[in-house]
Amino acid sequence: MKDKQYLLIPGPTPVPPTVFAAMSRPMFGHRSDDFAKMHKGIVEKMQKVFQTKNEVFVLTSSGTGAMEAAVSNVIKPGDKVLTLNGGKFGERWTKMAAKYGAVVDEYKYRWGSAADLKVIEEKLNSEPDYVAVFATHNETSTAVTNDIAGMGALVAKHKALLIVDTVSSLGAIEFKTDEWNVDIAATGSQKALMLPPGLGAITVSEKAWKVVEENKTPKFYFDLNACKKNIAKWNTPYTPNVTLFVGLDAALDMIMEEGLENVYARHTLLANGVRAAAKALGLELLADEGCRSDAVTAVLSPEGISAEDIRKVLKNDYQITFAGGQDDLKGKIFRIAHMGFADKMDMIIAIGALEMALAKVGYPVQLGQGVKALQEVFLGRN
């Protein structure tokens, strides 16, 4: 039964059969009318998901490519920037900005907490020369969602651009690019957009274009000015991943058919269920209350039991993959994703199998109690 694989990691996530079927479309050229028409439709749908009137550029790269595009099109050597680092992906902004020669002021916040708006406000007020503030909407490594609306209200009063990593949030957790004053948002295909890895996407605000247009930092593949020039005719500067564009078109159609509000509500329901199940099993969550992600849940392994042992049992005995912890959290947490092509039965599997794995590693689990808590949430009783 090797064909039975249950992927519950925060990316890549399972791909719906409808998307894979669409991707079987025979190859066609990217300079064709067919491509241009599809590209236009994709951008219009991506604008709805990003809730923006800005251009959306779909890049043939991972989400990190889109993040680099944000950095290389904005930063000049010596620019002062503020990075918000409360996990592996916040840390990535710091590394990237430094690589491009920025003078980085890094605000490190505790893993499991959200960035404190008061700290950000103080930093913005004390340093008027920040060119950009780099934030993470959903910090995948800690299962924390940051308050981007709050950050946007603060940053909008300054010359700095607000640049946000939405890789693991877009399509799972509501994101209002324009209303929240986000200048650049970068995302990837392999999370809540329900696609295989291979595409990134980026939005650019009017305020950001003024910086991007004047930026002379060497870049070629991720040059947003080239993207802008090409998108006027629904082209891309270089050969795009045509097949993934076809898949993205199909996945966005699925999202539109379900309705964005319903998509977010589904993610919230699944997250509530998993949190209730963890509690019922006597397990603690890594993320603080109030900033817990609706896309992924990080659960602390019980005292004396390595999360890696639980993950091994899940994989070997039930072909279920949870994510582990990164860096200092390795062995201490496991992460259950509920993003993208995920629904109630996936959580029933996750918790049903988790209970059996906990029993196997010697945790005094009450079988069925996590599933019961999940069922109560799904039935609206909790």
Binding-site members are 335
| Known binding positions for substrate | 335
* Binding status of residue 43 toward a second copy by CB under 8 A: no
Instruction: Compute the least distance from the CB of residue 91 to a second copy, in Å.
Output: 34
If one asks whether residue 355 binds a second copy (CB under 8 A), the answer comes out as yes
Alpha-carbon distances, residue 120 vs 82, 155, 273, 353 (angstroms): 9, 9, 32, 41
284 binds a second copy (CB under 8 A): no
Closest to a second copy by CB, 334 vs 341, is: 341
Nearest to 341 by CA among 192, 197, 198, 196: 192
Q: Output b/e per residue, 190-208; b: 16+ Cβ within 10 A.
A: bbbbbbbbbbbbbbbbebb
What would the two tokens of residue 5 be? Answer: 């694989």
Q: Which of 331, 325, 329, 330 minimizes the C-alpha distance to 361?
A: 331
- Choose the binding region for a second copy from 43-51, 78-86, 111-119, 342-350 (rule: CB under 8 A): 342-350
Give me the least distance between CB of 293 and a second copy, in Å please: 20
Task: Kindly identify the residues of this chain, within the stretch 247-266, that bind a second copy according to CB under 8 A.
Answer: 254, 258, 266
369 binding a second copy? (CB under 8 A): yes
Q: How far is the CB of 360 from a second copy (least distance, A)?
A: 7
Q: What is the dihedral of CA 77, 83, 89, 95, to 10 degrees?
A: 30
Crossing angle for the helix pair 260-280 and 242-258, nearest 10 degrees?
A: 80
- Burial zone of 24 (CB within 10 Å; 0-12 exposed, 13-18 middle, 19+ buried): exposed
DSSP category for residue 379? T
Q: Do strands 80-85 and 103-108 pair parallel, antiparallel, or not at all (unpaired)? A: parallel
Positions 6 through 25 that interact with a second copy (CB under 8 A): 6, 16-18
Site size toward a second copy, by CB under 8 A? 36
Q: Is 364 among the residues that bind a second copy (CB under 8 A)? A: no
Residue pair 173/145 in contact (Cβ under 8 Å)? The answer is yes
Which listed residue (167, 242, 353, 363) binds a second copy by CB under 8 A? 353
The residue (of 3 and 214) whose beta carbon lies closer to a second copy is 3
Between 139 and 355, CB nearer to a second copy = 355
- Of the pair 119, 256, the CB lying nearest a second copy is at 256
Structural tokens at position 170 = 């877009």
From CA 32, how far away is CA 21, in angstroms rounded? 22
Query: Do residues 71 and 200 make contact, with C-beta atoms less than 8 angstroms apart?
Result: no
Q: Which is nearer to a second copy, 119 or 367 (CB)?
A: 367
Pick 14 or 197: Cβ nearer a second copy: 14
Q: Is 64 in the site for a second copy (CB under 8 A)?
A: no
Binding to a second copy by residue 104, rule CB under 8 A? no
Q: Does 27 bind a second copy (CB under 8 A)?
A: no
Question: Which alpha helices (DSSP H) does 172-259 contain, by range?
Answer: 206-214, 224-231, 242-258
243 binds a second copy (CB under 8 A): no
Output 230 or 321, the one with its CB closest to a second copy.
321
Out of 228, 318, 321, 331, the residue judged to bind a second copy by CB under 8 A: 318
C-alpha span between 115 and 42 (Å, rounded)? 33
Rule CB under 8 A: choose which of 36, 149, 153, 348 binds a second copy.
Answer: 348
Instruction: Kindly list the residues in this chain that would bind a second copy in the complex (CB under 8 A).
Output: 1-4, 6, 16-18, 254, 258, 266, 318-320, 341, 343-345, 348-349, 352-353, 355-356, 359-360, 367-372, 375-376, 378-379
